[in-house]
Chains A and B, each alone.
Chain A
Amino acid sequence: MAEYEPWNEARGAEIIAAHAGRDGAAIPILHALQDAFGCVPTPAIPLVADALNLTRAEVHGIVSFYHDFRSHPPGRHVLKLCRAEACQSLGADALAAHVRNRLKVDWHGTTKDGAVTLEPVFCLGLCAIGPAALMDDKPLGRLDAARVEAELEAAA
């Protein structure tokens, strides 16, 4: 699990400055902000716009285009469950329904206790050992309800 810093303008500006000189800096900057704060905080957007000589609308457009970028920090753990065809062929849809039911959240939701955020993902490259998932950065394969349960309990 990751520990995130609370938003801090000076820290945000420092992160942006560290990458602003790179060619095509926007995506690396947004990744770095999300790594630090768990999301791309709304107050960071004008800072990014300023650093890259873009409008706020343009930066918002970039942030909202990519599925990875969040506007709020996730739970203590992020479970990315694969929804793509290879995992479907091994029962991923039923597993996803079970997990959503068990966590009482829909896709992108965070459990009430803040333990887990559930994200859909279209392919993790673990298509030979589906259904697959990433719990934070830990790959999981051949998942069934019992294995997910064990991972969720370990994470709680």
Chain B
Amino acid sequence: MTRVFIPRDAAALALGADAVAAALAGHAAITRTGSRGLLWLEPMIEVETPQGRIAYGPVTARDVPELLSAGLLDGAPHRLRLGKPEDHPFLASQTRFTFARCGVIDPFSLADYQAQGGLKGLRRALALDPARIVDEVTKSGLRGRGGAGFPTGIKWKTTADAPGGKGGSQGGDQGAGQGGDQKYIVCNADEGDSGTYADRMLMEGDPFALIEGMAIAAIAVGATKGFVYTRSEYPHAIAAFNAALAIARREGVLGADVLGSGHAFDIEQRVGAGAYVCGEETSLLESLEGRRGQVRAKPPLPAHRGLFGKPTVVNNLITLASVPFVLAEGAEAYQAVGYGRSRGTMPIQLAGNVRHAGLFEAGFGLTLGEIVNDIGGGTLSGRPVRAVQVGGPLGAYFPPSLFDTPFDYEAFAAKDGLIGHGGVVVFDDTVDLAAQARFAMEFCAAESCGKCTPCRIGSVRGMEVIDRIMAGDRVDMHLELLTDLCHTLKFGSLCALGGFIPYPVMSALTHFPEDFRALQRVAAE
């Protein structure tokens, strides 16, 4: 029977992929995959033909009889035929390092994974001295993809050099992980930023890449145990990753003897419980330890005293999943792509009111305008783009006048914004930025861990002040108060939640001041 690939990614399921698979059952041999990331075309199915795979989409179950009689299984023409997926402009213009296999392979086939270059990085790492692995990652220029952009190699070196074990009294040059001293690799899969779904897509579409990346990190720093902290809002990713873990253990990728190397490493997935702040690394560690997810003051750094007081690498999921490429193809190949100090690729996630919504992995340096207009195709509603929020709920709202900003950690910081985890949320001209600023404060109030006063109290006061501004009550005075409050939050908060919530608020105020004066104007007229 002809093979047909149908995604099982949660976004494809939400658009009816299971019904399409049911309608095709008996007509074709069906392989479920992750998503290629062309989410506006989901469910996008692919037929295996002698000429290669031919994609069709968006396909609904109702289209299936017509597609079959048109010759779907031979890759025949049809209004839904997209041609070869790799020739589609959205895919052809990407640089897929981290997401190379996502949507292509059966995520639960270790054979497929290896046929597409999987485990090559881990095998190379096992042949290297651990310090050389760290060097390779440092040279690649890879930085934390959760948003902070901290150099991954330096974080790993700090953990590798940290004396393992209790109290830290043992000699530091022992060689990591020896003498039963515990170190941990923790993967932050608490992807709570609105507009981001790269972690979810990778866990559902290529989970072995994360397992491989964590195993490389473990060997580099001398850790024997890893935790993946996944948010509870991702039931499909949780199930997919647990299934992949079981396979990896059975096949000896994880366990007492990783690929026969003598290194022990295993991974356990833990599920969050609906707290956004647990995406902050110290709060995540508290939660893993079984407490309220309240932020810890730093120092000590998690690299010195992290999970259960042991030296711990805490990395974002995409950071860890980028590591196999770095080891397999070499640091040079990774760092050759990029812009300024932002090396390698970033999975940009186009979301919200955008025509071509999906995951676009590319080297850093595309301008925001290229991302939104050329790749994204403008708004889904067809109305003009008015604002783009980059980097999740703590990211700034950018007006089209800043569309020349290159996608790069430093360039966004210079414009009082951040790239965060790579989410790009597009809004058309019906958006009210005062309401969005109010929402930012409301979100901060709901999600604050409560440990520090600026965030806990300031977010509630911020909401109240914006309410008064929106009601037209002494607008100038209250705008000054709001600006002052944002200053306090930015410099007085313990973590990025309170510290960065001024970005959406102040960017809305700076770039869209008219939205804050709507009622004042009415009153004056």
Interface residues of A (CB under 8 A from B): 23-28, 30-31, 52, 61-62, 65-69, 80, 84-90, 121-130, 132, 134, 137-142
* Distance (whole angstroms) from the CB of A86 to the closest CB of chain B: 4
Q: Mark B13-41, 1 if CB is under 8 A from A, else 0.
A: 11100000000000000000000000110
For A124, the chain B residues whose CB sits under 8 A away are 10, 233-234
Question: 10 shortest A-B CB distances, which residue pairs?
Answer: A26-B290, A84-B194, A128-B357, A67-B274, A66-B273, A127-B351, A141-B14, A89-B352, A128-B39, A139-B14
Grouping DSSP codes into helix (H, G, I), strand (E, B) and loop, the A interface class, with mixed when no group exceeds half, is loop
In the bound complex, how far is the Cα of B58 from the Cα of A141, in angstroms? 14
* Distance (whole angstroms) from the CB of B389 to the closest CB of chain A: 6
Q: A65-B292, A132-B14 are in contact. Are A123 and B192 (CB under 8 A)?
A: yes
In the bound complex, how far is the Cα of B431 from the Cα of A34, in angstroms? 39
Most buried by B among A67, A69, A121: A67
Q: A66-B274, A86-B352 are in contact. Are A125 and B10 (CB under 8 A)?
A: yes
**Stretch in B82-90, B401-409, B419-427, B458-466 with 4+ CB within 8 Å of A:** B419-427
For A128, the chain B residues whose CB sits under 8 A away are 11, 39-40, 197, 349-351, 354, 357-358
Partner of B443, one of A26, A27, A89, A122: A122
Contact: A31 with B11, CB < 8 Å? no
> 20 other contacts beyond A123-B194, A125-B191, with CB at 8 A cut-off?
A26-B291, A27-B270, A27-B288, A31-B232, A52-B290, A65-B293, A65-B449, A67-B273, A68-B274, A80-B233, A88-B352, A122-B393, A122-B443, A122-B446, A123-B233, A125-B233, A127-B194, A127-B195, A129-B42, A142-B14
Partner of B200, one of A89, A121, A125: A125
Contact: B194 with A87, CB < 8 Å? yes
Contact: B14 with A85, CB < 8 Å? no
Grouping DSSP codes into helix (H, G, I), strand (E, B) and loop, the B interface class, with mixed when no group exceeds half, is mixed
Q: Mark B227-258, 1 if CB is under 8 A from A, else 0.
A: 00000111111000000000000000000000
For A139, the chain B residues whose CB sits under 8 A away are 10-11, 13-14, 236
List 27 A-B residue pairs with CB atoms under 8 Å apart, sorted by A's residue number: A23-B308, A24-B289, A24-B290, A24-B308, A25-B290, A27-B290, A31-B271, A61-B292, A62-B290, A65-B292, A65-B449, A66-B274, A68-B274, A85-B195, A86-B194, A86-B195, A89-B426, A90-B380, A122-B393, A123-B191, A124-B10, A125-B233, A127-B196, A128-B11, A128-B357, A129-B14, A141-B15
For A137, the chain B residues whose CB sits under 8 A away are 235-236
* Distance (whole angstroms) from the CB of B226 to the closest CB of chain A: 13
Question: From residue 27 to 64 of chain B, which have CB atoms closer than 8 A to chain A?
Answer: 39-40, 42
For B426, the chain A residues whose CB sits under 8 A away are 89
* Distance (whole angstroms) from the CB of A53 to the closest CB of chain B: 11
Interface residues of B (CB under 8 A from A): 10-11, 13-15, 39-40, 42, 191-197, 199-201, 232-237, 270-276, 287-294, 308, 349-354, 357-358, 380, 389, 393, 423, 425-428, 431, 436, 439, 443, 446-447, 449
Closest to A26 in B: B290
In the bound complex, how far is the Cα of B192 from the Cα of A66, in angstroms? 14
Most buried by B among A67, A87, A125: A125
Contact: B275 with A126, CB < 8 Å? no
Most buried by A among B10, B275, B428, B436: B10
Q: A26-B290, A85-B439, A89-B352 are in contact. Are A127 and B274 (CB under 8 A)?
A: no
Q: A68-B274, A127-B196, A139-B236 are in contact. Are A86 and B425 (CB under 8 A)?
A: yes
Partner of A89, one of B39, B275, B425, B449: B425
Closest to A127 in B: B351
In the bound complex, how far is the Cα of B14 from the Cα of A132, in angstroms? 8
Contact: A126 with B288, CB < 8 Å? no
In the bound complex, how far is the Cα of B439 from the Cα of A139, in angstroms? 24
Contact: A85 with B270, CB < 8 Å? no
In the bound complex, how far is the Cα of B13 from the Cα of A28, in angstroms? 27
For A142, the chain B residues whose CB sits under 8 A away are 14-15
Contact: A30 with B273, CB < 8 Å? yes
In the bound complex, how far is the Cα of B194 from the Cα of A121, in angstroms? 11
For B196, the chain A residues whose CB sits under 8 A away are 123, 125, 127
In the bound complex, how far is the Cα of B196 from the Cα of A139, in angstroms? 16
In the bound complex, how far is the Cα of B271 from the Cα of A124, in angstroms? 14
For B427, the chain A residues whose CB sits under 8 A away are 89
Most buried by B among A28, A123, A128, A129: A128
In the bound complex, how far is the Cα of B39 from the Cα of A30, in angstroms? 35
For B293, the chain A residues whose CB sits under 8 A away are 65-66
Contact: B195 with A68, CB < 8 Å? no
* Distance (whole angstroms) from the CB of B145 to the closest CB of chain A: 16
Q: A24-B290, A127-B195, A132-B14 are in contact. Are A86 and B235 (CB under 8 A)?
A: no
Closest to B275 in A: A66
Closest to A69 in B: B273
Contact: B351 with A28, CB < 8 Å? no
For B237, the chain A residues whose CB sits under 8 A away are 125
In the bound complex, how far is the Cα of B389 from the Cα of A87, in angstroms? 12
For B200, the chain A residues whose CB sits under 8 A away are 125
Closest to B234 in A: A125
For A68, the chain B residues whose CB sits under 8 A away are 232, 272-274
For A85, the chain B residues whose CB sits under 8 A away are 194-195, 352, 389, 393, 425, 436, 439
Contact: A123 with B193, CB < 8 Å? yes
Contact: B292 with A62, CB < 8 Å? yes
